[in-house]
A and B are shown apart, each in its own frame.
Chain A
């Protein structure tokens, strides 16, 4: 994609005129670089209200003032990305820039699609083939009418499920009330960056007493395309409500942006439950570690009121670098938090991932189950914090953190932080590191199972506790994905 001269001109003009952009812009791309005008440009392009622009600008100022940068404390080695060398606004690609057919798409990607059993029409959509977008809507939903039915069913219940931009336009009070309340703008370098330049994302609101009748999935929200880089998601479950939200897709998605810095905030009010499941399969780079996405994600939920519950489940198989700690602040009494994770690092992938459980309320409980798999030269770190604050009487935490090594060149590391300031709490931590044994492999082989299938079988067994907590269909896909990601890990 080439920055058009006209866009450049507009940005220049915007720097001259405080309230620039009066003309309707057709260009797709802002020039590279991060500055106040780019922030204004993004906000203007999205027709945002002034309060949101100001919020973004404040974030930008915070970013400027921050002394820190990409984290150095994580067990990750990577080249820093120059924030001035990134495009911060890109409308969906023009159809002419896209591959004309699947024949022009990377064969490795197609092989992956076929292995995952993805229908051709959807493959075209995922690979970003020209004019596939409209067809894919039909393919995913069977027909457009299904999509419409789905939306009307939700709105009958008062559920709001839309893009973040739509929510800003149609439900500004809700957005204003909760945006940045779980993850403050200045929480960390990436949350600050995201707050200044976020592109789009999802917004969900479940009204009091409503149990969302279906899994809400980004996959169904077609306009989620092209928001991958600086995604912003906000989910609010009002009193006595329930929602299960699925993010991502097992099919490897093409993306030309190297840096991803998403922010996800969850708010659970009294007796509400949010279940958030992720399958992350961004491009991991090639066998030698060339290319691949840097995924710096901030995800946090707050159990704001009593008896609320937040559960994170993640299957992380993609990205060259993963830096991610979906956390729960257990503020309401009797609230509970869960974190179930399977993370795989193959070839040269690195993951530093885990969770934080912050116990503030009384009788709060949390459960952490982390399964890390390292293969090839992959490096995997579990990093977690369990914090029990002084007033959190009778709290419980259980942490289980297992690592599985495949081969001799990979690594697994466990860094649990436990900070207990209340004597009545009960905190348990179990950890194990194991290798797939030759005995196990040979046993499977002797029963006719190939080495690759045997590895997948053993790894799936290792991950079962986490897969069990995924919605059924997602779990089946996640298994297949793990098998695919482990290809070439043995032998």
Chain B
């Protein structure tokens, strides 16, 4: 009932919806068709394959990575693909440069063979300009991932940690820096930013996602100037391709229940809609770890509803619109704490309520075979109301974003993109901070609230030399009204296929962002530290990022391959909003960077498929992240010095059984000065998880264990016996806060 009431409250949001009906358009020129030819069985690119326009002698052959391009023909619309030892294939009415042809060997085509049609769970995208790691639906099936925060357990690239020991909220790190320096996109439109940062990862149900792709390094200019360390792009299920109905039920040994349902309906060939629902309920608190009277995980309820519409007319017009509403409430802290005890000064409690409405529409229009129009529009409203002990935090964010893009292939090998964007963000935050009983209430409002209008233009030029080399140079200009600054962000990307399956990639560029310092460091509120603003105005954060990546693909035998990837990324801050926890154990000093702040990250990945159905991926990473705090150069706290990861997946034929096992080795972390007994470095630890999935005709059942070794933080809450004193600190989290956890679930699909 309360939910329905909340939904009706959005007066301001209705205004947004009207504004969002703006659409804009851009022509796309394509005078070439092209694509890639691969072996059906192994997926290996085929070299020297003949590709000709049907009924003519005009044609070409594929190059050494299986790619071909053909000038558009006046007389023919179909192409014939032929190759010695393979069955020829004819493609009708071809257009675009992304045609994928898979040829079947004749020696095999006439007999029954086993075909490796399975998609890999996690793979590196070879053809992508940036170093991209993609987790597919297959990969997500092997994790009981309830939400995005739990979907990175088999990724070495991303580290996930808790922000504090009472709220249960998680935060990610990419390239050794917190997730805010990367951009979280939903279907290529900025999705989670600003005030949604603290709990945002919990707003993306794992079962809604079709894939997650993580691109390391500075992004191209198309999505704004904020993506410094990379991009995480989420793809939700598409209503025209998804199953008619599916449901997922999950229950764990801490009595957390989750339900995900998805309905997809196709009205006809053009119009389809999807209604996705997600609910989570965690109705009991446990105090397994620490035995300090504090709940390990808060009571939590979430309702998440998404409705999307897809309208498509062949390749001519494509429109996607979605609306998402989220309501969440949490209650944690002392086991005895109840919601009605808010503000109580003898029993420590944490509570929070969030509401979010998000709207997005993407439209692409083609007026002929060679020209198209497109736009991205999104809007969101978010309200968060929380308390941490005696401190009260309220945040309200209103955001409108419009991005218009033009893509044009000027002539063969020269592609130009340009466009304009506009963002309006109203970040209203209010913090009444009383970290301990004897402290005076400090009210932060003007320091942390602002309205930001950011118009921008961008242009990007891509040069392609065959398929072996492509380079993109982009520039964008934005004006930020809050900081009254003109922002120029150059971005460079290059990819070079150096023969024999070596791929080298380079990226470099500058990025800017406005910090929401309280939202991004919300865990601080769960401590007895005084918050001190050293500067009256926090400047924009500005950083340069550069990286290099080398990839090598080995073919072991038919269908089995080995991939090795090594990369190095450097980020250097011109300005950063620094939270100094080391000047004094009882203070958090927030200010602009004085001195230097940088991050160096080296990562190596090996993926191998030694035999059918079995795959192993191994990864190692070294994070070297330093910052100057009050003139002293120190490692960034809570960033593991190194990390190792091993993921094993085995599935039987036809996927009837599936076994997933992951081991993480998390290196030591530097702890900031604190009031606890553990100072300096937290020791390394092992984290293991595993899952078994059994598939039946229309459903599958899974069981799993998280944190198999049961390694947990000994003292999750410092000063738990005296939570209203300066000795209290629940923000020092360096190890898992959940012990060994069993879960069971059921997925059912109706196609």
A and B are partners in one complex rather than unrelated chains: no
